[in-house]
A and B are shown apart, each in its own frame.
Chain A
C-alpha cells in the first residue's frame, strides 16, 4: 500500500477504481457473515431463481455487499481515511460473474485544524457503462 499525498489530492481527482467480479461463492460467504440481517433470497445464489424472478440469467449480488465494496474502494484509495458517511442508492441490480468497478471522485475538500475532509461521489460501474449503485461519501484524513 503506497503512501498517499492527501495535500495534493483535489476536487475532480478520482480513485483508480476497484475492479471486482463477484462469484456465487463470494455471495454465499457474505450472506454467511451477514447472518439474519439480510433476507436470503434464492436469486442471490441460484441462476434459475434469478431468471424466474425476472432478473435475467445471473444471480443478483446483495446490495449491502456492494455497499461494502464501495467502502473498500474508498479506503483502498485513502488508506488512512476515517469514513464518516457512506450513502448508496441501489438503482438497479448487480450480478455475479460480471465485472464491476467501484470508483470515487472528490467533489469537495476542506482543511481544518490539520485534518483534511473530502466529500466524494461514489459509484459502482458495470461493464456496459451503467452505474447500478450511486452515492456519496465523506472521509476525514486525520492530522498525523
Chain B
C-alpha cells in the first residue's frame, strides 16, 4: 500500500527539480548566449519487481531524473551596433583563456582592457583556435570584424591591417560540455575549428529561452504536482477507511 506514496514522492521530487530548472531558464531569459535546459526523466531501472515469479502484481515503477538536456539552438540575434559585440551565427563557441584553462562561450559581448587586448567583461582574453589573442592598435580606426572573424583596423595612412582573428570552435559531443557559470562552458574534449559559422559584429545573441514554452511548462509542473499530491491524499484516505472498516468487522 505504501508503494503509492513512494511512487508519488519520486514524482514530487522530480517535479521540484523540473521547477528549479524552469526557474533557472526564466531567470536567464535576458542572459546573452544562454541555452535553455530541460530535465530528462526515466523509469528508475532499480524499481523492485512484483513479489514472486508469475505474480499478478506488476513491478513498481519509480521515476528518476537521469540528465539535463540543453537545446543548443540559435538564439535570436539582436543588433546593438556596439563595436565589440559579436555573435556567432551557426554552431560554435568563442574560446576564452581563463586562469583555469580554456573556456567556451556564446556570449560575445567583449571589450578591450588597459593593455588594448580584446577581453571578456571578466578580463579574460579572447583567443582564436590556435590560442592567440587579439591586440588592437589604439592609433587606428575602431576594429572591423569580418564574417570569418578576421579583425582589421584602418591606420592613419588608410592602410587596412589585420590585427587578429576571432574563431568559432565546436565539439563532437555537445552534451559533454559542463556549465561553469558566467556564461562559460568547459569541455574535456579538444575542439575543432568551425569554419562554416559566421561571426557578426554589432550583434548579440539573445538567450534561446522561449517565454511561452516556459510559462506553459510552469503550469504543467504546478498542475502535475497538485495531481500527484491529490493522489497521495486519496491513497491516505483509502488506507484510513480500510483500517476503520476492517477494524469494525473484527
Q: Do the two chains belong together in a single complex?
A: no
Q: Which residues of A contact B (CB under 8 A)?
A: none
